[in-house]
Amino acid sequence: MILTETDTMPLQAGGADMRRRKFLGGLGCAAIWPLAARAQQPIKRATIGLLGSGTEASQKEWTAALVQRLRELGWTEGENVTIEYRWAEGRTDRLPGLADELVRLRVDVIVTHNTPPTLAAKKATATIPVVFATAGDAIGSGIVASLARPGGNVTGLSSMQPDTAGKRVELLRELIPSLRRLAALLDVGNPFSARDNAEVQRMAQTIGVEVDTYEIRRDEDIALAFEIFKGRVQALYVPSVPLLFANTAQIENLALAARLPTMHGVRELVELGGLISYGPHWPDMWRRAANFVDKILRGAKPADLPVEQPTKFELVINLKTARALGLTVPSTLLARADEVIE
């Protein structure tokens, strides 16, 4: 069959129309692709201030978790983000000055952990966003107004340490069925420590255990406290506060010499010689803190980001320390442990 000019016109027009649609579609994809790509990339070079309560060495695992997660989210240190580190080395009195330094640097966001550094950062600025990777009692300490609606420039993750203090006392009783008298250290400069101690007292009274509380204001008070309660108590409760983190080696050496089992809120101190810990997995919380930082650097407001809580709690037991203390850990407790250090 021979096609006439009239016959071919619709075919040619349709072909041209199809080519035009493909061309315009290509332009659309070309226009959309850079926008999508930009949405996946950090907006600008940013500066993060990290206000650490301890030393660089003592917090390296937590810091590494934060940095790794930031990298996964597109923020690489030395390329498109700078991290300014400030370490209080367990000295709460240094925190206000260090927080002021970060504010003067005009960092884009400040990352903290524990109650005192977070309160110091909050006092230093009402405009720079603050993300706390851990805080024992965010509401009770005055860090945020509520978990769902933190308000202001501060948000992050509450570690719920006071809420699990009673559980730690119960675990000590299971570990030492004859437990009747417990020593507890109290950092008087840390508002979280008072709340934690109140929960220890409440649970101890419930199960018939007396608690001797010893106030710690500075490093030198630790050895003095051991002199006072040595021979009077059967175990020691150590709250998760910067002052005591910085003195972990001293505390564990004194506890071993006094043959006292120690209970902690974080696993890292059991890895350093403590007997037992129960609490949230802090590296996981630091990773999740990076999610907050990423959202804020991309334009989110701290007031609109609800405070999150731990999703992982772990029981860790150091059998090497137990043997050094001449202590037999019940098999039922070992069976429930998330990790046993040999």
Domains in the chain (CATH in brackets) are 46-159+282-304 (3.40.50.2300), 162-280+313-341 (3.40.50.2300)
Average pLDDT over residues 174-192: 93
pLDDT at residue 43, rounded to an integer: 56
Provide the phi-psi class of 90: left if phi over 0, else alpha when psi is between -120 and 50, else beta: left
pLDDT at 16 > cutoff 50: no
Provide the phi-psi class of 142: left if phi over 0, else alpha when psi is between -120 and 50, else beta: left
Question: How many residues are present in the chain?
Answer: 342
C-beta separation of 82 from 48 below 8 A = yes
Question: How does pLDDT run across 19-70, given as a tens digit for each residue?
Answer: 444 444 444 444 444 444 444 454 578 999 999 988 898 889 999 999 999 9
Whether this model's pTM surpasses 0.85: no
Question: How does pLDDT run across 309-335, given as a tens digit for each residue?
Answer: 988 899 999 999 999 999 999 999 999
- Looking at the chain, the whole-number percentage of residues with pLDDT higher than 70 is 87
**Upper half-sphere CA count for residue 224 (Cβ side, 13 Å):** 9
Bridge partners, residue 279, by sequence = 314
C-beta separation of 317 from 334 below 8 A = yes
**Upper half-sphere CA count for residue 77 (Cβ side, 13 Å):** 14
pLDDT at residue 126, rounded to an integer: 97
- Higher pLDDT among residues 40 and 206, named by residue: 206
Question: How does pLDDT run across 124-163, given as a tens digit for each residue?
Answer: 999 999 999 998 778 888 899 899 999 899 999 998 777 7
Which segments of 40-148 does DSSP mark as H helices, in order?
A: 60-72, 95-104, 115-124
Question: How does pLDDT run across 258-314, given as a tens digit for each residue?
Answer: 999 999 999 989 999 999 999 999 999 999 999 999 999 999 999 999 999 988 899
Distance CA 243, CA 258 (A): 21
C-beta separation of 325 from 275 below 8 A = yes
Average pLDDT over residues 101-112: 98
Question: How does pLDDT run across 228-248, given as a tens digit for each residue?
Answer: 998 999 999 999 888 888 889
Q: Which residues contact 16 (CB under 8 A, 6 or more apart)?
A: none
Q: Which residues contact 325 (CB under 8 A, 6 or more apart)?
A: 256, 259, 260, 261, 275
